[in-house]
Amino acid sequence: MALIVQKYGGSSVGSLDRIRNVATRITRLRDEGNQVVAVVSAMGGVTDKLIGMANELNETPPERELDVLLSSGEQQSIALLATALQGMGVDAVSATGRQAGIVTSGSHTRGRIENIDPSMLQGYLAEGKVIIVAGFQGVTQTGLIHTLGRGGSDLTAIAVAASLKADLCQILTDVDGVYTCDPRVVKNARKLPEISYDEMLEMASSGSKVMQSRSVEFAKKYGVVFEVCSSLNNNPGTLVTEEHPAMEAVVIRGVSIERSQARVTITDIPDRPGNSAKILGALADAEINVDMIVSNIASDGMARHSFTMHTNDLGRAQAALKPVLGELSPDAQIETEAGLAKLSTVGIGMRSHSGVAAKMFKALGEADINIGMISTSEIKISVTVDETAIEDAARVVHEVFELDKKPA
């Protein structure tokens, strides 16, 4: 008998038929003699709809109330799935974040899982019940409801699997694994049999939303090996696991894209210690997530700093930087550009292979795609391009690294 934690995302429970399909899959697993804990998301589109309703009533909805509102989406789907299972004769019970013992810290809408008290879940398992846990939510020590950031049901599933020491953790979604690029963008993207935590983390944090990046970080920290697979078929999925030496033979594992990016550049600032800290400090105080950062010194000795962020944060960034500009220099200027997207190539093989950036930039140049900012890490190269060119750029880079072909 194995203890299996599964996570079903929004599209997998997006209609009553889909909920019946999930109930059938869970019943089959249970009938094979397994203990099953299923973490579920809100029905597809429900979270967005609830956010839209809150925004209609108030331009800046209070985050405490947003958490109360958004967590209701997952509560609907756990109750519906447990109801479907009971209708099929399965002894199933739903559990909210609080009932599952998920204790959070941090801020509203971005809660962090502090710890899990699995006693209630263990009690239900001991009674032979199938448990349906609400993803994306937890409760603080003082009883406030938190949600865990968009895509946060992935994190719930990984954390529940770690806390129950599950034998298997599966993330079931509307694709049958992690592909070399989003298959909606690159039609000949190839399903990967396995990917290392670090590569999955870099892909997730650079736009491959098949996994929430914080959930991958958590899985790496607690050594939770998990499989991404389809809720609609039984094809083998992708194993996300610790890296092993053979993985380095592949230079590029995958390509990610992220749309709706904007650039802010501050020019004509004296090249003096502390200035970068003032700029980034103002953005941090305004809780703006800065992504790529590029700084350089112009020929006149003045510094310029550029950084990217989500387009939605551009207005707030400008407002946060205005008061700082005067402190930096009377000549300091701010420039902004929206309509950008980010393209990233990821692979642990980059550590031991050179020439990757040159090959990527040459292919983009030959396709007449202009590169804006560039940033690199040990296993990732990211560039910005015009948002209108991003899909072509992804296809060009996918092609030049022959990611559609199985590596020899």
Residues binding ligand ADP (CB under 6 A): 9-12, 41, 151, 173-175, 178-179, 181-184, 208-210, 254
Site residue total, Mg ion (CB under 5 A): 2
Of residues 142 through 161, those in contact with ligand ASP by CB under 6 A are: 150-154
- In the structure encoding, which two tokens stand for residue 227, read together? 């499989």
Nearer to Mg ion, 27 or 212 (CB): 212
Can you tell me the distance from the alpha carbon of 403 to that of 359, in angstroms, rounded to the nearest whole number? 14
**DSSP assignment of 165-212, as one string?**
T-SEEEEEESSSS-BSS-TTT-TT--B-SEEEHHHHHHHHHTT-TTS-
Is residue 10 at the binding interface for ligand ASP, with CB under 6 A as the rule? Answer: yes
Nearer to ligand ADP, 178 or 385 (CB): 178
Nearer to ligand ASP, 135 or 372 (CB): 135
Nearer to ligand ASP, 66 or 257 (CB): 66
User: What phi and psi values does residue 300 have, to the nearest 5 degrees?
Assistant: -85, 10
Instruction: Dihedral sign for Cα 271, 272, 273, 279, please.
Output: negative
- In the structure encoding, which two tokens stand for residue 242, read together? 């610790």
Q: Which stretch binds ligand ASP (CB under 6 A): 41-49, 61-69, 99-107, 336-344?
A: 41-49
Helices and strands in the chain, H and E counts: 11, 18
Nearer to ligand ADP, 94 or 344 (CB): 344
Q: Which residues contact 182 (CB under 8 A, 6 or more apart)?
A: 189, 208, 210, 256, 257, 394
Q: Does residue 145 contact residue 137 with C-beta atoms inside 8 Å?
A: yes
If we measure between CA atoms, which residue out of 186, 194, 319 comes closest to residue 247?
194
Is residue 170 at the binding interface for ligand ASP, with CB under 6 A as the rule? Answer: no
For the chain, the helix, strand and coil percentages under 3-state DSSP, each to the nearest 5: 40, 30, 30
Report CA dihedral (80, 84, 90, 91) to the nearest 10 degrees. 30
174 binds, among Mg ion, ligand ASP, ligand ADP, none (CB under 5 to 8 A by kind): ligand ADP
Can you tell me the distance from the alpha carbon of 265 to that of 263, in angstroms, rounded to the nearest whole number? 7
Nearer to Mg ion, 195 or 350 (CB): 195
47 binds, among ligand ASP, Mg ion, ligand ADP, none (CB under 5 to 8 A by kind): ligand ASP
- Give the nearest distance from C-beta 27 to ligand ASP in angstroms: 23
Q: Which stretch binds Mg ion (CB under 5 A): 85-93, 145-153, 300-308, 323-331?
A: 145-153
- Give the nearest distance from C-beta 18 to ligand ADP in angstroms: 11
Binding-site string for Mg ion from residue 6 to residue 25, where x marks contact by CB under 5 A and - marks none: ---x----------------
Can you tell me the distance from the alpha carbon of 147 to that of 376, in angstroms, rounded to the nearest whole number? 31
Q: Does residue 121 contact residue 131 with C-beta atoms inside 8 Å?
A: yes
- In the structure encoding, which two tokens stand for residue 344, read together? 């990233």
Is residue 151 at the binding interface for Mg ion, with CB under 5 A as the rule? Answer: yes
Of residues 317 through 356, those in contact with Mg ion by CB under 5 A are: none
Is residue 136 at the binding interface for ligand ASP, with CB under 6 A as the rule? Answer: yes
Binding-site string for ligand ASP from residue 60 to residue 79, where x marks contact by CB under 6 A and - marks none: -------------x------
Binding ligand ASP by CB under 6 A: which of 4, 5, 9, 347? 9
Note the residues at the interface with ligand ASP (CB under 6 A): 9-10, 41-42, 47, 73, 135-136, 150-154
Contact positions toward Mg ion, by CB under 5 A? Answer: 9, 151
